[in-house]
Amino acid sequence: MEIESIPKTQYAIQLTGPNELRLNAEKAVNTPGPHQMLVRIECVGLCFSDLKLLSQFSSHARKSDVLAGLSPEILAEIPSYVPNATPTVPGHEVVCRIIAVGDAVAHHRVGERCLVQADFRQLPTANSNAAFGYNFEGALQEYVLLDERVVMNIDGERYLVPVPEHLGASQAALVEPWACVEDSYVNNERRTIKTGGRLLVVADAGHTVDGLTDSFDVAGLPAAVTYLAAETAQEEALRNLGVAEVHIVDGLDDVADEAFDDITYFGAQKATIDVLNDKLAGRGIINIVTGGAIIGQVVSVGVGRVHYGFTRWVGTRSIRAADGYAVIPETGEIRDGDAIAVIGAGGPMGQMHVIRNICSGKKGIAVTAADIDDRRLESLAAKCRDLAAANGVELRFANIGNEPLNAEASYWALMAPLGALVADAIKNSRTGALINIFAGIPAPTRHDLDLDTYIDKRCYMFGTSGSTIEDMKIVLRKVTDGQLNTDTSVDAVAGMQGAADGVEAVKNRSLAGKVIVYPQLHDVGLIPLNELRNRFPTVAEKLDDGRWCQAAEEALLQVAGRGDSA
């Protein structure tokens, strides 16, 4: 069943090889099979993550074959499944409408307006998972084919999130990047030794093994403990943990890399910590229990894995392991009274962090927006000053390219993928500071950190990657309720003619905010909002004090859709 006619061809932006992006004005529109749906794209936001796909193409972790979750036979039935070197269509920040469904589609209906949660986590690839806009075609086209067997997760929940009709298209599409920001604040942090996990304990001579049982989760013990102990008393304490499977090793050379969900080190030797870094599995926690000892020098820490691998580092000066785990917060949420520093605040994602925290409802907070570009800071200030005043938030701006920040913070949000920023945050933290490593520092990256200061100040660094369906629903509720306006992050709009230029602008960081592409506008180039009056003056008149809004969007679609500049 169809609610509108479907053309045979469409405009699309296709990625055909590394850095080979082209506009195809005659890409075929696929007809849905029994389990499939055709959706019409209302608009799509451009993302910095698209650049990673642009440069890596077939070597990107999400562009490779789906290894499980669907059979090769089913995948072969899906024309929009485009792994490896097959050309793809990027774009995953999207709002769309279902216009046709196959006879076997059971959970979706024609006419529904939806967001797309891009991470198909039930479909693993060799080093990641399948994703919309990667090994499944994305939204930089007028229409895209979706398969219901792909967009339902293992719990029977839809990856297509319904959107209210009254929201503007850009407001809705930008829920996806804002959800990635939200995830970094609301992600639940593990605060105990993992039930059923693998625990490694290393104890240096002169250190008491204490507090491990108090670190166990009430749900149960780890499945196995491996230990390297220097003294008989330590061995006895470890044997009495009650863990069924116990392994004794004579040295860390006998221990596999990335093999442990939890590592507790009773000691303070840099060389040992350097080695233990490599033994931590994804989503693992390393706990350094110094017993009052000092490490005395910086330690090489895998800061890249904190973001991409969800690894965590804690420590304590006491003799009790449980005191290290006690540092871990329930989530990465800001707290009443926090002094928040957003480093790289002038970029698209940095702006979202600043605005999100201003609108959080937390009491007594102060936000410092730091960047190295005065133009970006001026753009951010125009968007945020009145918002901060209305919410009673103290807001200041700092160009850290000209002078040091000269302020301590209790919460850091790091937008640039640099290990040095993590080191600086530790140095300038207040006691109990949270360090949100939002930018994707390359996974193999290690950086020298002052863990003595990190432990003494009871800091906690964490990172997340992507978002969940629930994160999108949280942001959508905020937008629907008027708590958050995602359109504040828009800096430019485009039709298909300007989409590639928009990608280039993201690459060159020539725009401070987001670029929104409307695929139905074939011949509209890239238009920064501050130049909109030159091209579409009647649309510019609809801006909300210079900011993108639903009224301006409706005017653009009407005026540009009929091909004039009035």
CA-CA distances (angstroms) from residue 520 to 142, 265, 376, 463, 539? Answer: 6, 58, 30, 37, 17
Question: For the purposes of burial, counting CB atoms within 10 Å of the CB of 42, is it exposed (0-12), middle (13-18) or buried (19 or more)?
Answer: buried
pLDDT, tens digit, 9 for 90 and up, residues 117-172? 999 989 999 888 999 999 999 999 999 999 999 999 988 999 999 999 999 999 99
* Chain centroid offset of residue 337 CA: 25
pLDDT given for residue 1 in this prediction: 40
What six digits make up the tokens of 189? 């942090």
Three-state DSSP class for 78? coil
DSSP 136: B
Alpha-carbon span 519 to 46, nearest angstrom: 12
Residue 49: band (very low, low, confident or very high) from pLDDT cuts 50, 70, 90: confident
* Average pLDDT along the chain: 95
pLDDT, tens digit, 9 for 90 and up, residues 60-86? 989 999 999 999 999 999 999 999 999
Question: What mean pLDDT comes out for the span 267-289?
Answer: 97
Whole-number percent of the chain with pLDDT over 90: 90
Residues linked to residue 327 through DSSP beta bridges, in sequence order: none
User: Would you say residue 238 has pLDDT above 90?
Assistant: yes
pLDDT, tens digit, 9 for 90 and up, residues 6-40? 999 999 999 999 999 999 999 999 999 999 999 99
What is the layout of strands, in order, in the sheet containing 312-316? 245-248, 224-229, 198-203, 260-266, 280-289, 312-316, 460-462, 429-437, 409-414, 339-343, 366-371, 394-399
Q: What is the pTM of this model?
A: 0.90
Hunting for tokens 């590639």 — which residue is that? 500
The alpha carbon torsion through 126, 131, 134, 139 (nearest 10 deg) reads 170
User: Would you say residue 563 has pLDDT above 70?
Assistant: no
pLDDT given for residue 393 in this prediction: 98
Q: Which residues of 435-461 are buried (b: 16+ CB within 10 A; e: fewer)?
A: bbbbbbbebebbbebbbbbbbebbbbb
Q: Using alpha carbons only, what angle is made at residue 562 by residues 557 and 565, rounded to the nearest 5 degrees?
A: 85
Amino acid of residue 493? V
DSSP per position, 502-524: HHHHHHHT-SSSEEEE-TT-TT-
Alpha-carbon span 421 to 427, nearest angstrom: 10
Residues 6 or more apart from 494 whose CB is under 8 A from it? 501, 502, 515, 516, 517, 518, 521, 524, 525, 526, 527
* Sign (positive or negative) of CA dihedral 377, 381, 383, 388: positive
Closest by CA to 215, choosing from 134, 283, 111, 286, is: 286
Neighbours of 464 (CB within 10 A): 24
pLDDT given for residue 206 in this prediction: 97
DSSP per position, 200-221: EEEE-TT---BSSGGGBBTTB-
pLDDT given for residue 564 in this prediction: 53
Query: Phi and psi at residue 456, in whole multiples of 5°?
Result: -60, -35
* Chain centroid offset of residue 306 CA: 12
Amino acid of residue 528? P
pLDDT, tens digit, 9 for 90 and up, residues 87-121? 999 999 999 999 999 999 999 999 999 999 999 98
DSSP 256: -
pLDDT, tens digit, 9 for 90 and up, residues 450-495? 999 999 999 999 999 888 999 999 999 999 999 999 999 999 999 9
What residue ranges define each of the domains in the chain, with the CATH number in brackets? 9-187 (3.90.180.10), 198-325 (3.40.50.720), 339-447+458-466 (3.40.50.720), 475-561 (no CATH)
What six digits make up the tokens of 279? 């033994």
Query: Phi and psi at residue 295, in whole multiples of 5°?
Result: -70, -45
* Sign (positive or negative) of CA dihedral 228, 229, 232, 233: negative
Alpha-carbon span 83 to 67, nearest angstrom: 11
Alpha-carbon span 291 to 200, nearest angstrom: 18
Range scoring the smallest mean pLDDT among 51-60, 72-81, 330-339: 51-60
DSSP per position, 535-556: H-HHHHTTSBTTB--HHHHHHH
Residues 6 or more apart from 499 whose CB is under 8 A from it? 13, 23, 46, 140, 517, 526
Residue 561: band (very low, low, confident or very high) from pLDDT cuts 50, 70, 90: confident
CA-CA distances (angstroms) from residue 461 to 286, 417, 456, 564? Answer: 12, 14, 14, 52
Question: What mean pLDDT comes out for the span 330-359?
Answer: 96
Closest by CA to 215, choosing from 275, 252, 270, 261, is: 261
User: Would you say residue 512 has pLDDT above 80?
Assistant: yes
Neighbours of 474 (CB within 10 A): 20
CA atoms within 13 A on the CB side of 33: 12
Whole-number percent of the chain with pLDDT over 70: 98
pLDDT, tens digit, 9 for 90 and up, residues 201-213? 999 999 999 999 9
